[in-house]
Amino acid sequence: MTLYAEVIVPLPLEKTFYYIVPEGFKEKIKIGSKVLVSFRHRLLTGFIVKLHWKNPAGNYQLKEITELLDDKPVFTSTFLTYTQKLAAYFYSSWGNLLQASIPPSLTVKSRKRVFVTGKAGEGINMASLSNYEKKILSLLQKKSYMESYLKGKLKVRDLGVHLQRLEKKGLIFRKEEVQRKKRNKDKFDIPSAGQLEIDFSQDKKSIQAAGRLTKSLGKQAFSRFLLYGSTEKREGVYFYLIKHCLALKKRILFLVPEIVFTEDLIQKVKKRFTGNTAILHSRLSEKKRELAWKTIKDGAAEVVIGTRSAILSPVENVGLVIIDEEQDDSYYQKQNPAYDARIGAWFKAEQEGALLVFGSAFPSVEARFRAGEQGYLINLEKISSPGQVEIVDEGKERRLVSDSLYKRIKLRLARKEQVLAFSGRRGYSAFLTCSRCSYIPRCKHCDISLTYHKKREELVCHYCNYTIKYMNVCPKCGSKVVQKKGIGVEVIGEEFKKKFPKKRVAVFHPDEAGNKRRQEDILSLYKDGKIDILVGTSMLAHRFDLPPASLVVIFYPEITLALSDYKAAQKTFLSISQMLSHLKKDKDSRAVIKTAMPNNFSIKMAASGDYHAFYEQEIQYRKIMNYPPFSCMAEIVFQDENLRVLAEKSRQFAAKVKKKGNIEVLGPALAPVARVRGRNRIQVILKAKGKEEIDSVLKSALSKSRIKKSVYIYE
DNA sequence: AGCACGCCGACT
DNA sequence: GTCGGCGTGCTC
User: Are the beta carbons of A347 and A86 closer than 8 angstroms?
Assistant: yes
Round to a whole number and report the distance in Å from the CA of A174 to the C1' of C1.
28
Average pLDDT over residues A370-394: 82
pLDDT score of A34 more than 90: yes
Give the per-residue pLDDT at A200. Answer: 54
Among protein residues, the one whose C-alpha sits closest to the C1' atom of C3 is A130
Question: Nearest residue to C4, CA vs C1'?
Answer: A158
Centroid of chain to Cα A87: 16
Contacts within 8 Å (CB) and 24+ apart, A259-266: A259/A328, A259/A330, A259/A539, A259/A542, A259/A543, A260/A325, A260/A542, A260/A543, A260/A544, A261/A306, A261/A307, A262/A543, A262/A545, A264/A544, A264/A545, A265/A545
* DSSP-based three-state secondary structure for A467: strand
Cα A185 to chain centroid distance, Å, stands at 31
pLDDT digits (tens, 9 = 90+) for A57-78: 888 889 999 999 999 999 999 9
Q: A432 and A442 in contact (C-beta within 8 Å)?
A: no
> Which amino acid residue lies closest to nucleotide B5, measuring CA to C1'?
A161
Residue ranges of alpha helices (H) inside A220-362 are 231-247, 263-272, 286-297, 341-352
Note the pLDDT of residue A405.
76
Assign A402 a pLDDT band (cuts: 50, 70, 90): confident
pLDDT-wise least confident of A189-193, A318-322, A636-640: A189-193
Phi and psi torsions of A130, nearest 5°: -80, 170
Å from A160 (CA) to B9 (C1')?
21
Strand B nucleotides where any atom sits below 7 Å of a protein CB: 1-6
Residue from A363, A366, A326 nearest A622 by CA: A366
| Through-space distance between the first and last CA atoms of chain A, rounded to whole angstroms | 50
- Mean pLDDT over residues A693-697, rounded? 91
Q: Is the pLDDT of residue A271 over 90?
A: no
Nucleotide with C1' nearest the A96 CA:
B1
Nucleotide nearest to A6 (CA to C1'): C12
Cβ of A12 near strand B (under 7 Å)? The reply is: yes
pLDDT tens by residue, A447-463: 677 777 766 777 777 66
Judge whether residue A51 has pLDDT over 90: yes
Q: Which of A350, A305, A396 is nearest to A595 (CA)?
A: A396
Residue nearest to nucleotide C8 (CA to C1'): A706
CA of A5 to C1' of C10 (A): 20
Q: Which residue is nearest to nucleotide B1 (CA to C1')?
A: A11
Chain A residues 18-77 within 7 Å (CB) of strand B: 40-42
Which nucleotide is the nearest neighbour of A40, by CA and C1'?
C11
Q: Which pLDDT score, from 0 to 100, does residue A193 have?
A: 38
Q: Which of A147, A65, A50 is nearest to A108 (CA)?
A: A65
pLDDT at A192 over 50: no
**A104 Cβ nearer than 7 Å to chain B strand:** no
Distance, Å, A137 CA → B7 C1': 28
In this predicted model, what pLDDT tens digit does every residue of A504-561 receive, in sequence order?
888 887 655 556 677 778 888 888 888 888 988 878 888 877 888 888 999 888 877 7
Strand C nucleotides within 7 Å of a protein CB: 2-8, 10-12
| Beta carbons of A120 and A137 less than 8 angstroms apart | yes
Reported as a single tens digit per residue, the pLDDT across A560-608 is 776 668 898 999 999 999 999 898 888 888 898 988 888 889 999 999 9
Q: Say how far A494 CA is from B1 C1', in Å.
A: 47
Closest residue, by C-alpha, to the C1' of B3:
A160
Q: Report the distance separating Cα A341 and Cα A307, nearest Å.
A: 9
Q: Which residue is nearest to nucleotide C2 (CA to C1')?
A: A130
Of A395 and A56, more confident: A56
> Given this model, what pLDDT does residue A263 score?
64
User: In the structure, how far is the CA atom of residue A699 from the C1' atom of nucleotide B4, in angstroms?
Assistant: 28
CA pair distance A86, A337, nearest whole angstrom = 10
Which has more confidence, A470 or A8? A8
Closest CA to A162 of A146, A152, A150: A150
What mean pLDDT comes out for the span A242-260? 87
Residue A677 DSSP one-character state: T
Per-residue pLDDT, averaged over A632-658, amounts to 88
Determine contact, residues A593/A390, Cβ cutoff 8 Å: yes
pLDDT at A190 over 70: no
Higher pLDDT, A499 or A10: A10
**pLDDT confidence tier of residue A196, bands split at 50, 70 and 90:** very low
Residue A375: Cβ within 10 Å count: 7
Highest average pLDDT, of A152-166, A275-289, A432-446, A678-692, comes from A678-692
Reported confidence tier of residue A430, pLDDT bands at 50, 70, 90: low
Integer-rounded Cα Rg, in Å, for chain A is: 29
Please state whether strand B lies within 7 Å of residue A160 at its CB atom: yes
Whole-number percent of chain A with pLDDT over 90: 36
Of A14-18, A286-290, A656-660, which range is least confident?
Answer: A656-660
> At residue A104, does pLDDT exceed 60?
yes
DSSP string, A534-573: EEE-HHHHT-TTSPPBSEEEEE-GGGGGGSS-TTHHHHHH
Any idea which of A161-170, A603-612, A623-632 has the lowest mean pLDDT? A161-170
- Give the pLDDT score at A168: 77
What was the pLDDT predicted at A183? 43
* Nucleotide nearest A12, from its CA to each C1': B1
| A62 touches A2 (CB < 8 A) | no
What would the mean pLDDT of A379-404 be, rounded to a whole number? 77
Give the per-residue pLDDT at A194: 42
For position A614, what pLDDT does the model report?
Answer: 95
CA of A482 to C1' of B1 (A): 45
Do residues A641 and A708 make contact, with C-beta atoms less than 8 angstroms apart?
Answer: no
Running DSSP on this structure, what letter comes out for residue A469?
E
Contact A638, A699 (CB under 8 A): no
**Other residues' Cβ atoms within 10 Å of the Cβ of residue A591:** 25
- pLDDT category at A487 given cuts 50, 70, 90 is low
Q: What is the pLDDT of residue A127?
A: 67
Q: How far is the CA of A200 from the C1' of B10 (A)?
A: 80
The C-alpha atoms of residue A269 and residue A266 are separated, in whole angstroms, by 5
Is pLDDT at A715 greater than 90 in this prediction? yes
Q: What is the value of pTM for the model shown?
A: 0.88
- Which of these ranges, A176-180, A193-197, A249-253, A339-343, has the smallest mean pLDDT? A193-197
Q: Dihedral sign, CA of A645, A646, A652, A656?
A: positive
